[in-house]
Amino acid sequence: MLKYITKRILQVIPLLIIVSLISFFIIRLSPVDPLAELRLNPSISQETLDKEIKRLNLDKPIYIQYISWAKSFIKGDLGYTSAGEKVSVKLKERIPNTLLLTAIVIFMTWIVGIPLGILAAINKETAFDRMLTVISSIGMAIPSFFFAILLLIFAVKTGWFPVGGLTSYNFNEMSLIGKIIDISKHLVLPVIVLFTISLSGLQRQMRANMLEVLDSDYIKFARAKGLSESKVIFKHALRNAINPMITLLGFEFAGLLSGAALTEYVFQYPGLGRLILEAVMKSDINLVMASLMMGTIMLVLGNLIADILLMIADPRIRGAK
């Protein structure tokens, strides 16, 4: 098992190198001057500017630029944003927020989506199942940013939820419990948006898996030997139906990272998605490169975790390795 995990981790490394190559060349070959903002910013000294030019080797050919960028990236030196802040500080501030958001959403979709999928499969073609199908179709079709805007209207009209951000202006004066309540209040709306969108897909997938398993021979056998329905479903069907969902966990994480960008933007949520968006708008190359790499690393790690979980859950995969 340890061997398998090591192998998977080693596979990630060439992947990250290719990703960094792709993104580096896309950005560098574009007609955008990576230091344009930095040059225009009066608070940036010529010294910092020279340091950046030297660090990025902007006067050298592109492949040397890449090598030097990769070197400093591995060392953890991500350079400065166009506003003069350290990129690494900025990322440290934003990544936990995005992880918090996605973790809550994934947790909630699993808690709700899996049982709903099972229920829909057991009650196949009943009014309940049909209703869930209609609701999930609606959930899949609503654009995340549009839904976010609708919720904003709701928040403004009722005044029940704060509109935007992650913390209130007086956050620092609050007690610990006050802080937790404040953050949760700010999280409600973005979580609802992402939850609705990813729940639909998860519920459908679970239903389809469950139906497939319920149709298999070993379930027919379990029924034939007179097991109670609950035993058939929870002991035999569920365990097999849930395995493909674990693989899906990685994809769900990927989808959430992308989906969160627009949601974060509408709610002014201080996450990685909004960071990269702002960086792109300001053509802040250091920040774009770093957050793109971080997003990719998070995604790859998400897939890796899903693979390891699958191995723990599925004895067939464990046996094969």
Partner 1 sequence: MREMLTKILQDKFAKIAFITLVLLYTIILFANFIAPYSNTYSNRDMSYAPPSKIYTIDENGKLTRPYTYNYVREYEPSLMQTVFKQDRTKKYYIKLFTNGHLFGTEKSGQLYLLGTDINGRDVFSRLLYGGRISMTVGFLALLVVFPIGLLYGGISGYFGGIVDTLMMRFAEAVMAIPSFYLLIILAAILPGGMTSVQRFALIVVILALIGWAGFARVVRGMVLSIKNEDFVLAEKTIGASNLRIILKHILPQTTSYVIIAMTLSVPSYILAESGLSFLGLGIQQPDASWGNMLKEAQEFTNILYRPWLLTPGLLIFIAVLSFNLLGDTIRDILDPKSQKRI
In whole angstroms, the minimum distance from the beta carbon of 258 to partner 1 comes to 4
Which one of residues 5, 49, 112, 163 is an interface residue with partner 1 (CB under 8 A)? 163
Taking CB under 8 A as the rule, does residue 207 contact partner 1? Answer: yes
Q: Amino acid identity, residue 57?
A: N
Binding mask 187-206 for partner 1 (x = CB under 8 A): --------------------
> What distance in Å separates the CA atoms of residue 264 and residue 164, rounded to the nearest whole number?
9
Taking CB under 8 A as the rule, does residue 168 contact partner 1? Answer: no
**E strand intervals along 197-269:** none
Q: Which of 286, 282, 223 is nearest to 88 (CA)?
A: 286
In whole angstroms, the minimum distance from the beta carbon of 254 to partner 1 comes to 6
Binding mask 46-85 for partner 1 (x = CB under 8 A): ----------------------------------------
In whole angstroms, the minimum distance from the beta carbon of 194 to partner 1 comes to 13
Return the DSSP state at 236: I
Q: What part of residues 265-294 is at the interface with partner 1 (CB under 8 A)?
A: 265-266, 273, 276-277, 280-281, 283, 288, 291-292
How many residues bind to partner 1 according to rule CB under 8 A? 58
Taking CB under 8 A as the rule, does residue 211 contact partner 1? Answer: yes
Which one of residues 1, 9, 13, 18 is an interface residue with partner 1 (CB under 8 A)? 18
Comparing CB distances to partner 1, the nearer of 22 and 89 is: 22
CA dihedral 274, 277, 282, 285 (to 10 degrees): 110
Return the DSSP state at 43: T
Q: Which of 156, 138, 143 is nearest to 203 (CA)?
A: 138
Which one of residues 65, 82, 109, 296 is an interface residue with partner 1 (CB under 8 A)? 296
In whole angstroms, the minimum distance from the beta carbon of 225 to partner 1 comes to 26
Comparing CB distances to partner 1, the nearer of 36 and 227 is: 36
DSSP codes, 130-172: HHHHHHHHHHHHS-HHHHHHHHHHHHHHH--S--SSSS-TTGG
Token readout for 105 is 């959403």
3-state DSSP assignment of residue 284:
coil
Comparing CB distances to partner 1, the nearer of 240 and 283 is: 283
H or E stretch at 311: helix 285-313
In whole angstroms, the minimum distance from the beta carbon of 30 to partner 1 comes to 3
Q: What part of residues 100-159 is at the interface with partner 1 (CB under 8 A)?
A: 125, 129-130, 133, 137-138, 140-146, 149-150, 152-153, 156-157
Q: Which of 6, 9, 30 is nearest to 280 (CA)?
A: 30
Which one of residues 9, 13, 22, 64 is an interface residue with partner 1 (CB under 8 A)? 22
**Angle at CA 304, nearest 5°, toward 211 and 265?**
85
Q: Which of 51, 54, 56, 59 is nearest to 68 (CA)?
A: 56
> What distance in Å separates the CA atoms of residue 238 and residue 115, rounded to the nearest whole number?
10
Comparing CB distances to partner 1, the nearer of 143 and 178 is: 143
> 3-state DSSP: the chain helix, strand, coil percent, rounded to 5?
80, 0, 20
> What distance in Å separates the CA atoms of residue 154 and residue 138, rounded to the nearest whole number?
19
Footprint of partner 1 on this chain (CB under 8 A)? 14-16, 18-19, 22-23, 26-27, 30-32, 125, 129-130, 133, 137-138, 140-146, 149-150, 152-153, 156-157, 163, 207-208, 211-212, 254, 257-259, 261-262, 265-266, 273, 276-277, 280-281, 283, 288, 291-292, 295-296, 299-300, 303
